[in-house]
């Protein structure tokens, strides 16, 4: 029997995104979630409001009624291939609701272009995601934070320490005239809107048809994909799963390279991979085939030693302070991300062993030197 995704999964996804570091988008998710509860809005309506909000704030295109209807139905079909879409009457109701005080009081204007009318915000910086919470919504979040605070300091819940001040700051739950905390994020990263359908596909065990264009391909291609695991690294999101076309069980797709996805009727195959264990021996997301676990020995200068001690480069790190610097040993599968990390320390790190990895880093440094 297929599992059904209900509203609590939206909260769970929000928490997962927060743990992984998608700070700005998550605040919008929490904001919208509490408004959904207070307005009794269903899931399809929320999707339509998000689409209309993006259309109204787009200064590069004129969106007429038929265009708005097409965009809404396209989004609904993307979320649920069996959706029948909406008609004009529902679209008019949605716009009226968004303009009302019960909605978001959006600053929407109608502009005549020939015999037709297009819709656009008076203030193009306006978004329903950025509206301040009302008193009731703020109290709901405060109550949630009180519950989360009980887990602070508990093993496996270290992320709570980061989440509480972030939410308090973003939602203005502490009265201050200026910001006192900020978080790294990339709000312009493409593909973030695929997070929810991918999460739902994993939970509901659905097989997807994914249209994808990697950096090496001149044209996009389609694969049949069984999604298993979502992971964020370096402000990018990736999904891992089975590629049915070539039977690779740990196929990796970057969300910002996905062009579209849709559900299929194929039977979902369960994974046998323990994904937490899979990533433990890695930095990043790339696991080269045929490469065994190795002990990497590095020597860091005295200048950067304190940073490497307070922020270990890998959980397996063992270190030894020496008069000339800090010796670090890590047990890891060497990959491209590890090379990038080591190179980022510049002249403050030296690879001691193994010899083949040392030579690899040396060659990359020499290649970089040829550019200057």
Go through 5-18 and write b for each residue having 16 or more CB atoms within 10 A of its CB, e for each that does not.
Answer: beeebbeebbbbbb
Residue that has been written with the tokens 């709000």 in this structure: 187
User: Residue 194 has what DSSP assignment?
Assistant: G
- Could you report how far apart the first and last alpha carbons of the chain are, in Å? 61
pLDDT for 86-145, tens place per residue?
999 999 999 999 998 878 889 999 999 999 999 999 998 888 877 766 565 566 666 666
* 224: nearest Cα among 243, 252, 241, 250: 243
Q: Tell me the average confidence (pLDDT) per consecutive run of 10 residues in the chain, 372 residues long.
A: 38 44 44 48 78 91 94 87 88 93 88 93 86 63 63 55 61 57 62 82 89 87 93 88 91 92 90 90 89 93 94 92 93 93 94 93 91 86
Taking the whole predicted model, whether its pTM rises above 0.75 is answered as: no
Contact yes or no for 249/296 (Cβ under 8 A): no
What is the third-level CATH fold of 192-280? SH3 type barrels. (2.30.30)
- Ranges of each domain in the chain: 41-130, 192-280, 294-369
Q: Count the helix, strand and coil residues of the chain and give each as a percent rounded to the nearest 5.
A: 40, 20, 35
Class in CATH terms, 294-369: alpha beta
Contact yes or no for 140/34 (Cβ under 8 A): yes
CATH for 41-130, options being 3.10.20.30, 1.20.1250.20, 1.10.10.10, 2.30.30.90: 1.10.10.10
- Same fold across 41-130 and 294-369: no
E strand or H helix at 197: helix 195-204
Q: What is the DSSP string of 135-172?
A: HHHHHHHHHHHHHHHTTTTSTT-THHHHHHHHHHHHTT
Amino acid 142: pLDDT: 67
């Amino acid at each position: 029997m297929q599992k059904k995704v209900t509203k609590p999964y939206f909260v769970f996804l929000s928490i997962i995104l927060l743990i992984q570091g998608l700070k700005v988008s998550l605040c919008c998710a929490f904001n919208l979630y509490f408004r959904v509860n207070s307005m009794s809005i269903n899931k399809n309506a929320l999707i339509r409001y998000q689409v209309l909000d993006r259309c109204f704030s787009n200064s590069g295109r004129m969106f007429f009624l038929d265009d708005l209807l097409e965009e809404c139905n396209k989004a609904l079909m993307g979320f649920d291939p069996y959706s029948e879409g909406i008609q004009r009457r529902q679209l008019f109701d949605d716009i009226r609701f968004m303009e009302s005080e019960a909605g978001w009081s959006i600053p929407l204007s109608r502009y005549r272009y020939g015999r037709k009318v297009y819709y656009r915000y008076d203030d193009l910086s306006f978004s329903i995601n950025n509206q301040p919470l009302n008193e009731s919504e703020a109290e709901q979040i405060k109550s949630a934070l009180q519950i989360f605070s009980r887990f602070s300091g508990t093993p496996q819940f270290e992320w709570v320490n980061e989440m509480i001040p972030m939410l308090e700051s973003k939602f203005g739950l502490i009265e201050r005239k200026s910001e006192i905390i900020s978080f790294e994020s990339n709000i312009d990263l493409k593909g973030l809107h695929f997070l929810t359908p991918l999460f739902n596909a994993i939970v509901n065990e659905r097989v997807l048809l994914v249209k994808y264009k990697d950096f090496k391909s001149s044209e996009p291609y389609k694969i049949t994909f069984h999604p298993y695991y979502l992971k964020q690294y370096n402000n990018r999101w990736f999904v891992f799963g089975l590629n049915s076309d070539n039977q690779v069980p740990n196929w990796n797709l970057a969300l910002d390279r996905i062009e579209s996805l849709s559900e299929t009727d194929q039977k979902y195959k369960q994974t046998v991979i323990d994904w937490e264990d899979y990533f433990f021996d890695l930095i990043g997301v790339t696991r080269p085939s045929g490469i065994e676990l190795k002990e990497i020995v590095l020597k860091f200068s005295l200048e950067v030693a304190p940073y490497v001690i307070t922020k270990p480069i890998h959980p397996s790190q063992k270190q030894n302070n020496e008069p000339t610097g800090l010796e670090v040993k890590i047990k890891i599968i060497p990959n491209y991300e590890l090379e990038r990390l080591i190179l980022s320390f510049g002249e403050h790190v030296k690879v001691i062993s193994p010899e083949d990895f040392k030579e690899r880093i040396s060659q990359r440094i020499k290649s970089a030197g040829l550019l200057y």
